[in-house]
Amino acid sequence: MSEARDYKVIGTRVIRPDGVDKVTGRANFGADFSLPGMLYGKVLRSPHAHARIKKIDTAAASKIEGVYAIATGADFPKVGHEEITGGEGAGDFADLATNVMARDKVVYHGHAVAAVAAISSAIADAALAAIKVEYEVLTPVMDLDAAMADNATLIDERLFTAGLPQKPTKPSNVAAYMEFKRGDIAQGFAEADVVVEGTYRTPTVHQGYIEPHACVASINQGGQATIWCCTQGHFDVRSMTSKVLGLNVADIRVIPSEIGGGFGGKTTVYLEPVAMVLSKKSGRPVKMTMTRDEVFRASGPASATKCTIKIGAKKDGTFTAMSAWLAYEAGGYKGSSMAPGAMCVFAPYVVPHFLIQGYDVLVNKPKVAAYRAPGAPQSMYACESLIDDLARQLKIDPIELRLKNAVSAGSQAAYGPKFNAIGFKECLEAAKKHPNYSAKLGPNEGRGLAAGFWFNAGMQSSAEVHINENGTVTVVEGSPDIGGSRASMALMAAEELGVPYEQVRVLVADTESAGYNNVTGGSRVTFATGMAVIQASRDIIAQCKQRAAATWGIEEELVEWQDGQAIPKPGVNADVKPLSLAQIAANSGRTGGPLLGRASLNARGPGPGFSINMADVRVDPETGKVDVLRFTAIQDAGKAIHPAYVEGQMQGGAVQGIGWALNEEYIYDAKGVMQNAGFLDYRMPVASDLPMIDTWIIEVANPSHPYGVRGVGEVPIVAPLAAVANAVRAATGIRIPDLPLSPPRILAALEAAKA
Amino acid sequence: MSKTRVETKINGEQMEFLCEPQQSMLDVLRDTLRLTGTKEGCATGDCGACSVLLDSRLICSCLMLAVESNGRQITTIEGISRGETLHPIQQKFLQHAALQCGICTPGFVVAAKALLDENPNPTEEEIRYHLAGNLCRCTGYDKIIRAVQDAAQTMRGEAS
C-alpha cells in the first residue's frame, strides 16, 4: 500500500550513477565490445518484398579467403508454433525463427536470407556479393486495403483468421480479429443528439533509436555460449535464442551492454541467433552490427493503421455510444499491437455502449515490434481527433467535454477492470489552469489538445541488495537502464535504508548474475524492479534489526530502524547505543555473516497513466510547413522518484509523437522497397524544429506501490499525435485525417479547400 | 589491399596507424584505435553521433577518410575532459539530466564544445541550429539545450 510520508531523497534531482561514464565516452554500448580472434558477421537481405526462395548457392562465397562461416535457413532448426510471452510485443516463436533467417519464403524487402562471418567487414561484404539466390518473385501486398481485399494475394496460405466466432472457410491476410463490447451500441447511437464519424490513417514509423542493433556471440565446442548485446531484456534474448536454435537456456549467458535507445524495438532478437550459428560453424566469436539502412528495413517498426471511430453524444456533451474499427499492419508475420490499441482507444472515457473491433493484418513489410505504448498512439490519435471535432460541433471547450466524460476511481475501464486511484481529471484540471492554455495566438496559428493513456505493466522482477563491509550498498538487478533507472533504484534503496544516495551503487547484472527479470518495457522498471529493490532493502532492515537485537540481547520486535540505524523502541533498554548500517556491516562476521537482501516478485497493480498534451502550431500557408510554437505535457506519474528523468520521459515522448504527427513515415515504391531508409529522408525532429517542452507532473499516488509510483515512460507518446493534428485543424480550419501532416499533404489540403 | 601509414594527433597525443584508403575516420577511431566513445548511428553524416573536432572544426567522422587525418589534429569525446575534472559541458549534462540512454551524448558534448569555443554566449536559437546535426531520440532536446546554456554561462565565468 502507498504510504504518505516525507521523503529524504525520493523526489530529488541527483546525478545518475552511470552518468560520468556516459558523458566521457567510457560507457560501453552494443557495438563497443570486441574479443580476440573475433570475426565480422553480415547478413544478405532479400531484394524483394515478397518472393519464394528457390535456390541459394554459397559455393563461390565459401571459397573467398578470409570467409570462415556461411549460414542459411538450412543451418537453423525447425521451430514449432508457440506464443511468445513475457515480452512487450505479440508473436510466435516459429515466426521469430523464420524472421531471423528466412527458410522457403521472404516476406519483406530486407528479410535475412543468408549470413557470413569473415576476418574483416570488407571480406564479409565480398562474400555476400558472391552468394547467388534464385527467387520466384510474388506480388507484394503493401497496405491494409490491399491486404484485406477479397482477392488479395496471400502472404501465408496457411493463415486462417483467429478470434472469429467460426473458423473461416478460406485463408486470408487477416491473422486475428478481436472484439470488445458493452451495452447495445444501436441503442446508444439512437439516444445521441449528435453522431460524428471519421476514418484516420497512420503510416509505418520507426522507434528511431540512435544505436543500431549489435552483438558479439561466442559459443564453444561444448555448446556453452555467451552473447554480449544491447537489449531491453537480456533474459528474453536468452529465451528467444534458445528457442530459435534449440539450445539449453542454462548454456546461454547474455551480458547486456549499455543500450542506446530501444522504445520497444529492442525487445526481440534479430542478429543474436545468426551470430551464434556463425560462431558455432567457425569456432570463433562473431560480431554483428546493423547499418542504419538495415535497422529501417529489417528491425521492427510500428504498425501503420486505419481506424474508423464513431461517437454519439448528447447536446451537453455526454457520450452515449462509441464504436471503433481498427486495422493494424503486423508486417510479414502476425502479431501487431492491435490488441493494446483496441484496449486503450476509449480507456479515458465513461461509455455506456461501445463496440471495438480490431484486425491484425499481414503486409509485406518488416514484422512490427513494440513502440512505446504499442498500439495506443494510433487508435487514440483517431479517437482524440474525432472528440476534437465533436467539441467544435457542440461548441463545448475540449477540456470540458473530456471532463464531462472522464473516468475516475471506480469507473469501469472499457478494457475490463475498474480503475483504482487515477489522475485523469487532475490532468484535465491542471490543463485548464496552465498559462499555455490561454496564451494568445496569432494568424495561421492554432491550439490543439488531446488525452493519452497507457496501462503500464508490472510483471516479474528480482533484486539483491548487498551491504559492503563499510556499510555502503550495492544493488544488483537485471533491468537494462535505458533512461536513468539506476538513479531511481539507488534513490529507493537509499530512502529505505536511510543512507545517503551517493553510498548506493547499482549493477545491471547479466543472466547468470541476477535473478530473472522481464524486459525493460511497459513502463515497468521504476514500478516493479523498484518495488523489488524496496523489498530487498526491507529484507536488509529486518536482518539488521535481528543482528542488533542479538547484539543487545533483546527481542527483535523491540528494535526499530530509523535514519539508517537500529535503535531500541522507546522505553526499551535505554543504555544501548544505536547501531548504524556501517557498524552492523563491520560486525557482520560475528553476527551471522554478510548482509544480503533479496526480493523477487510478480508486481501487481501497476497504476494506469493518463496525460493531457497541448500543442500550439503555426502553419505556413505558402509551404504547408508546421512549426510547433509551444508544447505542454501534463501527466500523472503517481510519484516522481527522480523528477528530472520523469520530465525527460515526457519531453522525449512528446517529441517522438510530434515527429509521428508531422514528418515520419516509411515511403515505399510499387515493388515494396522502402525509399527513405536513412535519417536524411526519414525525418525525425531535430533541435531546431522544436520549442522547449513544458512539463507539469501530476502526482496521484498509485495505491499498489509503497511510494505511489506508476509507470511514466510510455504515456508521453500517446497524446501528441492528436494534440498536433488538432492544432493544425484549429490553425487551418481543415481536418486532415491522415498522418504525417507533412508540408505536401497540408499544402494539397489547403489548395483543395481554396478550389 | 595495401595499407597507408597515417600520422595524426589525437586528443593531443601523436599517433600513427595503418588504414585502407576507403576506411572512414570513424572506423579507424573505433576499430583500430579502440576509441569507442565516438559512436556510429548512421554512417551517412545524418545523426552526429560520430562528431569529432578536426583541428577545431566540427565534423562527422563517418564522412571523413582516415587517410585525410594525416598531419591534422583530432579531438574525440575522450579528449574533452583532461585529468581529474570534467569539462563544464559534461558537468552540466549530468546536472540537467540531459541524457537518457546516452548514445548520442558524446556527439552532443563535442558539438556543444565546438559551438561554445566559437561563440561563448549563444542564443537558444543559435544553440538549436548549431546542434541540429545531432539527433537525440530520448530527450526531446529540452534539457540538452538548457545544459548547453548553463555550461556557456559557467564558461563565461558567470554564476549559474
Stretch A32-56: mean pLDDT: 98
Give per-residue pLDDT as tens, A291-314. 999 999 999 999 999 999 999 999
* Residues in contact with A294: Cβ distance below 8 Å, sequence separation at least 6, in sequence order: A43, A45, A110, A212
Grid cell at residue B14: 601523436
pLDDT the model gives residue A575 = 80
pLDDT value of residue A400: 98
Range A712-722 average pLDDT: 98
Tens digits of residue pLDDT in B32-65: 999 999 999 999 999 999 999 999 999 999 999 9
Contact B137/A207, CB-based, under 8 Å?
A: yes
For residue A484, the chain B residue with the least C-alpha distance is B100
In this model, does residue A280 exceed pLDDT 60? yes
Q: What pLDDT is recorded for position A3?
A: 55
The nearest alpha carbon in chain A to B139 belongs to: A652
Tell me the per-residue pLDDT of B117-130, one tens digit each, with 9 for 90 and over.
999 999 999 999 99
Tell me: pLDDT of A172 over 60: yes
Asked if pLDDT for residue A670 goes beyond 70, the answer is yes
What does the alpha-carbon distance between residue A692 and residue B139 come to, in Å, rounded to a whole number?
Answer: 11
Determine the pLDDT at residue A87.
Answer: 60
Q: Give the model's pLDDT for residue A91.
A: 86
User: Per residue in A609-638, pLDDT tens?
Assistant: 999 999 999 999 999 999 999 999 999 999
pLDDT of residue A721: 98
A421 pLDDT more than 80: yes
Q: How far apart are CA A129 and CA A127, in angstroms?
A: 5
Determine, for residues B137 and A210 on separate chains, whether the beta-carbon distance falls below 8 Å.
Answer: yes
Q: Answer whether B104 touches A (CB < 8 Å).
A: yes
Kindly report whether the global pTM for this prediction surpasses the value 0.95: yes
Segment A59-84 shows an average pLDDT of 96
Cβ neighbours around A163 below 10 Å, total: 14
* A302 residue type, one letter: A
Q: Cβ–Cβ of A686/B104 closer than 8 Å?
A: no
CA distance A286 to A216: 5
Contacts of A692 in chain B (CB under 8 A): 142, 145-146
* Interface A-B: count of C-beta contacts within 8 A: 187
A83 pLDDT exceeds 70? yes
User: Is residue A108 within 8 Å of residue A138, measured between CB atoms?
Assistant: no
- Provide the grid cell at A360: 491484425
Residue A450 has pLDDT above 60, yes or no: yes
The pLDDT > 70 percentage for chain A reads 99
pLDDT at site A573: 72
Residue A514 pLDDT grade (very low, low, confident, very high; cuts 50, 70, 90): very high
Mutation target among A12, A18, A22 for the B interface, most CBs of B within 10 A: A22
Q: Contact at 8 Å (CB) between A703 and A605?
A: yes
Average pLDDT over residues A567-573: 87
Residue contact B132–A687, C-beta within 8 A? yes
DSSP assignment letter at A413: P
Q: Measured at the alpha carbon of residue A123, what is the angle toward residues A117 and A128, in degrees to the nearest 5?
A: 70
Any CB–CB contact under 8 A between B18 and chain A?
Answer: no
pLDDT band at B2 (very low <50, low <70, confident <90, very high): confident
For residue A290, give the nearest of A274, A309, A267 by alpha carbon.
A274
User: Which B-chain residues 23-62 have CB contacts (< 8 A) with chain A?
Assistant: 30, 34-44, 46-47, 49
Tell which of B38, B84, B101 to mutate to test the A interface (max A CBs under 10 Å): B101
* A738 secondary structure, DSSP code: B
User: CB-based contact (8 Å) between B17 and chain A?
Assistant: no
- Identify the band that residue B159 occupies on the pLDDT scale cut at 50, 70 and 90: confident
Overall average pLDDT of the A126-142 stretch: 98
Q: What sections of A299-364 are H helices per DSSP?
A: 338-344
Cβ A537 vs Cβ A498: under 8 Å: no
Residue A701 pLDDT level (bands cut at 50, 70, 90):
very high
pLDDT, residue A1, reads: 46
Q: Which residues of A touch B81 (CB under 8 A)?
A: 24
| Opening angle at CA A667, ends A662 and A671, nearest 5 | 165
Model confidence band, residue A88 (pLDDT cutoffs 50, 70, 90): low
C-alpha cell of A515? 535473478
Instruction: For residue B154, give the H/E element and its range.
Output: helix B142-155
Residue A607 has pLDDT above 60, yes or no: yes
A211, B39 contact by CB (below 8 A)? yes
- For A464-492, how does the pLDDT look when each residue is reduced to its tens digit (9 = 90+)? 999 999 999 999 999 999 999 999 999 99
